[in-house]
Amino acid sequence: MTSPNQPSRLPQFPQNAGMPVAHPVPGVGPVIGQPVTPVQWFRRMPTGGTVYVKPAEGSQS
């Protein structure tokens, strides 16, 4: 058992595991932003969630 105050470990996977998937081609940009960018995410903090429910029982995310 661990508690959140102990160091976390991420699972170690063999480097050659899985099927190789092409790395995304970089898009244009990034567009040059502003020197100072406000973090507005918290100002418009809705209390909803991104919920995926069984299709027969509700709308999907």
* Interface residues toward other proteins, by CB under 8 A: 1-11, 13-15, 17-19, 21-22, 24-61
Q: Provide, rounded to whole angstroms, the least separation between the CB of residue 26 and other proteins.
A: 5
Q: Provide, rounded to whole angstroms, the least separation between the CB of residue 13 and other proteins.
A: 4
Q: Provide, rounded to whole angstroms, the least separation between the CB of residue 47 and other proteins.
A: 5
Give CA–CA dist 50/61, Å, rounded: 6
Lookup: tokens for 28: 């244009």
Class of residue 45 by CB neighbours under 10 A (exposed 0-12, middle 13-18, buried 19+): exposed
